[in-house]
Amino acid sequence: MSLPLLSLTSRRLRGAMLPLLLGPGLALAAPGLSTEAERSGFVRTGRYEEVGRLCQAFQQRHPRAVRCIRFGTTPEGRPMWALLANQQGVFSPAEARRRGLPVTLIQGGIHAGEIDGKDAGFLALRQVLDGQAAAGALQRQVLVFVPVFNGDGHERFGAWNRPNQRGPEAMGWRTTAQNYNLNRDYAKADAPEMQAMLRLVQAWDPLATVDLHVTDGAQFEHDVSIQVEPVHAGDELLRASGKRLRDGVIEALAVQGSLPQPFYMAFQKMDDPASGFADGVPPPRFSTGYFWLRNRFGMLVETHSWKDYPTRVRITRNTVVAVLELMARHGHDWLAQARAADARSMRLAGTAQPLAFEASEQQRMIDFRGYAYTRTSSEISGALMTRYDERRPEIWRVPLRDEIVPILSVPVPGGGYLVPAAHAEAVAAKLRLHGLRFERLGTARQAQPVQVFRAEQSRFGAQSVEGHQRLDLKGQWRPEPRDLPAGSLFVPTAQPGVRLLMALLEPQAPDSLLAWGLFNNAFETKEYMEDYVAEDVARAQLAADPQLAAEFQRRLAEDPVFAADPHARLSFFARRHVSWDERYRLYPVMRLEQALR
């Protein structure tokens, strides 16, 4: 942030931090490849124009090792830039696959106020290309570097865009020009920027995607967290390599003086250090919740906002270099393991797959390096507030819940999913973005033996989330014959991305298309029976069906809420009438236990 004191602190550190950032014996770059951050001593960060200019400049300086590509356009018309780097001159996905080269995607500026990744990535790339860091690493992998994912947000530039953050002097905005938070958009893929990114991911199929962020929150000494999946989730044999990647980066950072942690450093109770921490597996709206579903590594890097900008850029640069070194060393083997996981995913039919997770109640006490603090009532807000004293470091003894358990597991359908023609286009567009395979039915199918999901309860969200009204429901799958018009979709589960497919199409998954409101119309009543008509219908039903009459009397006796609600009492009968909409609360996606013939 641009508080005068914090800016002054950054200026005082300018001379001291440059040798640490550049490395021993390294000089500043020639002007053509240096960033505004570097030239200012990491007091400022450059504007978005600098990204395109540096992208071209790196290609001109290293024509055999770098290509500058435009992979999309933002809603405000800005080009989305990526640098491809490989010292064998491999600049096409097909050639990378032919040579068996792993691909590493480094992504900065998804939240454009957290812009460390842009300046650190350019610095790291220059040093690697010049042989000053991770020597030879780009011989054994292809780097896809996206300096700024959120270009429009980057240019909503201001000094107070990150009020909890120390430096740079001014920075971009968290969300896009359309006010999308891109790190809530991986699964639903609403934003044009995310759609462009997913097409880039489809083309290059990165083995590891590294998402560079800055966290805010409490004040403590720890300066970075590194989280990777699969570690707690996903293909079991791939988890060990995910842990090796995570722990290798943490070890490298610790050797360089950082205090890294393998969990997100947010208190279980906001503003209360004594509550400690809980680890977890994020849902697929987030980058680290997304890529494990594809049998690939996702890494979340969170430097700490209370560290000054030179320190954060240095740590982020060190992280990028450590990732490149580990990928150069182990990437060939990890790529083989990921492809083996793809093959295993083709055979998951019938197995239960976890789709949501949480930390169990089991906890252990850890030492955590914080500062002395007080918790006193505020005369401003009236709330209990925590105040930290950075002059007095101390060790906190706090709980950590890091046993991760599934809270939603669903068996993989033996055949796949069916999407009726009325919803086929909307679902097909999402499946294409995620690289999931499907086929269209050329002819209608009658009375297909499928499983359907009828919601027993459904609840719409009380407020908009990312422009959507979310939907939560309870129910279960049941067998039922259904007709399928021509043009319906069959989506087989025998494909490598089956976990991602289930995350999108299982109705109770946290980031399913249903949860994000794509099918809300199916859960709204459109036709109804007037009360005076329902009264006559009810009397006719009671007279014709003694069992129904007994059931009605039992409900009245046992359920006082039902008995006191005229609408519920009339609905009891309306739902049993031939006029009732049998598609109400019927999820318009079906499961198929056998391959479609």
Mean pLDDT of 342-360: 98
Q: Which residue has the higher pLDDT, 170 or 536?
A: 170
Mean pLDDT of 326-350: 98
Q: What is the pTM of this model?
A: 0.93
Non-local CB neighbours of 113 within 8 Å, separated by 6+ positions: 153, 161, 162, 165, 171, 172, 173, 174, 214
At 26 the pLDDT is: 46
3-state secondary structure of 332: helix
Bond prior to 230 in cis (omega within 30° of 0): yes
What tokens does 260 get?
Answer: 């890294």
pLDDT band at 28 (very low <50, low <70, confident <90, very high): low
With contact defined as beta carbons under 8 Å apart, do 588 and 519 qualify?
yes
* Order of strands, sheet of 364-377, starting from the edge strand that comes earlier in the sequence: 277-278, 384-401, 364-377
* Domain chopping of the chain, boundaries: 4-267+286-341, 364-400, 407-525+584-592, 531-574
At 27 the pLDDT is: 47
With contact defined as beta carbons under 8 Å apart, do 396 and 357 qualify?
no
Q: Tell me the C-alpha distance between 473 and 317, whole Å.
A: 44
With contact defined as beta carbons under 8 Å apart, do 532 and 525 qualify?
no
Q: What are phi and psi of 105, to 5 degrees?
A: -100, 120
At 3 the pLDDT is: 38
Tens of pLDDT, residue by residue over 163-216, are 999 999 999 999 999 999 999 999 999 999 999 999 999 999 999 999 999 998
Architecture of the domain delimited by 4-267+286-341 = 3-Layer(aba) Sandwich (3.40)
Non-local CB neighbours of 346 within 8 Å, separated by 6+ positions: 494, 495, 496, 498
List, in sequence order, every residue forming a beta bridge with 142; answer none if it has no partner: 103
pLDDT above 70 covers a percentage of the chain that reads: 95
What number of other Cβ atoms are within 10 A of residue 57's Cβ? 19
Q: Tell me the C-alpha distance between 188 and 3, whole Å.
A: 37
Q: CA dist 272 to 132, 396, 591, Å?
A: 43, 12, 45
